[in-house]
A and B are shown apart, each in its own frame.
Chain A
Amino acid sequence: MTTDPRSLPPGLSRRTFLGAGALTAAGLGLFGCGGQSTTKSGGSANLQFMYWGSANEKAAIEQMIQQFQKSHSDIKVQPVHVPGDYETKVNTLVASGNLPDVAYMTAPTAYRLADQGKIANIYPHIEKYAQLSGRKPQNFFWYGDKKVAGTPAASEISLLWYNKDLFTDPSTVPPATADKAWAWDRLVEVATSLTLDQNGKRPSDSGFKPDRIRQFGISAPLTTQWTWYPLIRSNGGDVTDETGTKYTLNSPECVKVFQDLQDLIYKHKVAPSPAQLGGGADGSNAPTTTVQLQTKRVAMAIDGQWTLLDMGESDLKYGIGVLPSYQEPITQEAGSCRVMSATTKHPDQAIELYAYSVDGANSDLFKKGLWMPVETKYYSDDAAIDSWIKNDVHPPEYRTAAVDYRLNNSVRDFTQVLKNVPAIQEVLTPAIEQIATGKSPAKTVLDSLQAKVEPLLQGRYPIPNSI
């Protein structure tokens, strides 16, 4: 088949038509390859800042960058928003040597890139910046002596959320201070009283239909460590021993917690199974906690602090409580690592941006509820505390249920201190799914997991007692 010249627009010969086509194709190709490198033009430094997050986070980051550029007129920052498949993007950029100057990073990837020398050791800069030196040692990602891969911009903890409309009896309201935390049995009691089937019957009533539950007492998704890890720590258990080389998830303390969580769903029938929660094995497509509380699908839910942003924007009357406690009240704390590229062309400017971006004063996401600041002053100094929690989003009980709770009762997420986490998760996740689907008792699953996890254990990253 040949091209009929008559079908082309007048004045456009076949040759120019084809030429234009070739140019367009070449242009597209060049466009696809370009735009990643940082260049120096006219004495000002161009930096890239890569991050993930929702539309809210995107707006906040862009605003933060605007402010930064105002106070640093010689630095131009290009924000790169990656809403999904972040690891894929990072891997591609690392493979092609185009890591952005400053970027969000998950803990396992940050440690790996630090070991590979792809990201800078920020330890030498800590002293210079108050927003870095004003943090505790456990707020950094240490990959060796005086070696720091990064620090989070924000912190998160695990909390017990509830819909206030469903708690008319004051004695059933989840406690908001750690020392009054419920024992597990009390949680089951309250959850039972708040679980209703389509006919309004409770699990304790006769004729209760467990396959037609309208309202669950509590959502405690087993598929995330935000639920189970603080609880096993509360009971004195852990994933590994202190050296990080011996598997201990099948200790009686851990087995008890996992069995309790499984029993919530399949024995007491007060919590939704992953299937009832909807949204795939990890629940990522399930309705948000806010929606579940709002629609009274659940009365209480264990979820991270970050969900406060979502709650604050809804008209739900939400309340915050501390997690139930076994031996001592414990919650889990974590924050993603912010890293700086080791190959940045402008290290001086990049560290300025880095320090600015992790400063608890430079983002409105703290006031909006998405983030908790990391610097110690925001938990110990009243004026500093008020600067982020005195607003409509943060309810009155937030001070004790979140601020004090994080300061006094938090342990760090094991995925942020253990080595070789991606490989460990690959065997841990399916095993916990077996518990979550009620297929096998917790002890059977956790015992059989030992042989799979133990060969993967390579120790922990060190956390020094002081910076």
Chain B
Amino acid sequence: MKTKHGVSGQSRLERRWGLLLAMPAIVGFIVFTLVPMAASAVISLTDWTIGSAASFVGVDNYLQMFTRDPLFLKSLGVTTYYTLGAVPLTLIVAFAIAMLLNAKVRGLGVYRTIYYLPTLVPSVANAVLWLWIFNPDFGLLNSTLRQLGMPTSNWVFSEAAVVPSLILMSTWGFGNIMVIFLAGLQGVPRHLYEAVAIDGGGAWRQFRHVTLPMMTPVLFYNLVTSIIGTFQVFNQAYIMTQGGPNNASTFYVYYLYTTAFTKSEMGYASALAWALFVLVMVITVVLFRSSRRWVYYEMGAAR
């Protein structure tokens, strides 16, 4: 509503109301995100243990991570391993199911609901449920494998299998990503498919040359948010494995949490939080850089 001669009354009114209505979110962001972040940045430069006086130690906490703390690298490794497995797998499963649910079949609404349902299960209930699925003696997985005469596993109870097991479990939560894919799929213009059909292209060519390129922005969005979310994986370690066995599932945020609240070392825990923040930021920047090469926007200027 901008006019050449400044801002109209209507526009001023809208701006004022807009700001006012956005205020709860802005205040929330400042009070619950920005201020704590600033505080933790300061705390990360101290040796503060809760209850004791803090003294300034400079970047010593950050040096400690790389020189005197084997659990830092261990937890980072475990989390990276999990992310590299869980993110692609979840994206592929969510995309595939979104494609299926985009087809015109009877009872589509029912299917969509069923596939989305697992996402609604509270994560604690979900974790306990999967503990039983993973139970080596009676669990669904081992019982099925035994019926088929295949080798069984100790799943989350074994050092080698715990992260792959949790990756497998992570696909269970594909619902939200699937819904976003589904929305994206419905935005793909019909006429492009018709064009491929007229040129004699089959389903594969429609997918390869229309669906996939048109979906890259959605794919990119889901990739970035999934990576950020997955690096902060916590519940599975907290509820199911307590980081074990032998620290094989000590995810980064779980380690950070125990440092802060079991060992009460708030200074070091804040430094850990910042290290993760920087790492995730670097990964995100790299992804955005790479996106110029593979993400296609229909309106070129809209990126």
Contacts and interface: CB of A to CB of B under 8 A. Distances in A.
Contacts of A430: 243-247
Interface in A94-128: 94-95, 109, 112-113, 116, 118
Interface string A246-283: 00000000000000000000000000011110111110
B50 A94 contact: yes
B50 A95 contact: yes
Contact of B266 (A25, A95, A280, A437): A95
Interface centre among B20, B51, B52, B244, by most A CB within 10 Å?
B51
Interface stretch (A137-145, A226-234, A421-429): A421-429
B51 A112 contact: yes
Interface string B122-147: 00000010011001110000000000
Contacts of A91: 50, 260-261, 264, 266
Nearest 6 A/B pairs, CB to CB = A281-B244, A275-B157, A116-B51, A433-B245, A88-B261, A430-B246
Contacts of A95: 50-51, 266
Nearest to B138: A278
B137 A276 contact: yes
B135 to A, nearest CB: 5
Contacts of A439: 159, 245-246
B114 interface: no
Contacts of B128: 285
Interface centre among B49, B135, B152, B264, by most A CB within 10 Å?
B264
Interface string A392-430: 000000000000000000000000000000110010011
Contact of B51 (A118, A275, A278, A426): A118
A8 interface: no
B43 to A, nearest CB: 10
Given A3-B17, A213-B137, 5 more contacts: A25-B24, A273-B154, A280-B244, A422-B262, A439-B245
A242 interface: no
A439 B137 CA distance: 19
Nearest to B74: A430
A284 interface: yes
Contacts of B156: 280
Interface in B240-259: 240-247, 258
A112 B158 contact: no
Contact of A433 (B132, B240, B246): B246
A113 B158 contact: no
B126 to A, nearest CB: 12
13 contacts: A3-B17, A3-B21, A18-B20, A116-B51, A211-B152, A273-B154, A280-B241, A281-B157, A426-B71, A426-B263, A430-B247, A437-B245, A439-B245
Q: How large is the interface on A (under 10, 10 to 19, 20 to 34, 35 or more residues)?
A: 35 or more
A284 B245 contact: no
Nearest to B48: A95
Interface in B37-53: 49-52
Contacts of A437: 154, 157-159, 245-246
A2 interface: yes
B244 A282 contact: yes
Interface string B1-20: 00000000000001001001
Nearest to B127: A285
B168 interface: no
A281 B237 CA distance: 10
B281 interface: no
Nearest to B240: A280
B262 to A, nearest CB: 6
A256 to B, nearest CB: 22
B239 interface: yes
Contacts of A276: 136-137
A434 B135 contact: no
Nearest to A282: B242
A274 B131 contact: no
A281 B51 contact: no
Given A88-B261, A276-B136, A439-B159, A285 B51 contact: no
Q: How large is the interface on B (under 10, 10 to 19, 20 to 34, 35 or more residues)?
A: 35 or more
B196 to A, nearest CB: 38
A436 interface: yes
Contact of B158 (A87, A213, A275, A279): A275
A116 B50 CA distance: 9
A423 B131 CA distance: 28
A284 B124 CA distance: 13
Nearest to B157: A275
A91 B263 CA distance: 10
A431 interface: yes
B40 to A, nearest CB: 13
A430 B244 CA distance: 7
B243 A281 contact: yes
Nearest to B261: A88
A113 B49 CA distance: 11
Interface centre among B14, B155, B240, by most A CB within 10 Å?
B240
A436 B244 CA distance: 11
A280 B263 contact: no
Contacts of B264: 87, 91, 109, 112, 422
Contacts of B262: 87, 422
Contacts of B50: 91, 94-95
A285 B245 contact: no
Contact of A431 (B131, B157, B246): B246
Contact of B239 (A116, A118, A280): A280
A18 B266 CA distance: 39
A109 B21 CA distance: 45
Contact of A275 (B14, B154, B246, B258): B154
Given A91-B261, A116-B52, A274 B246 contact: no
B157 A429 contact: no
B52 A87 contact: no
Contact of B245 (A112, A213, A274, A278): A274
A422 B156 CA distance: 24
A426 B71 CA distance: 10
Contacts of B152: 211
A447 B240 CA distance: 29
A278 B131 contact: yes
B242 A280 contact: yes
A279 B242 CA distance: 10
A433 B244 contact: yes
B100 to A, nearest CB: 34
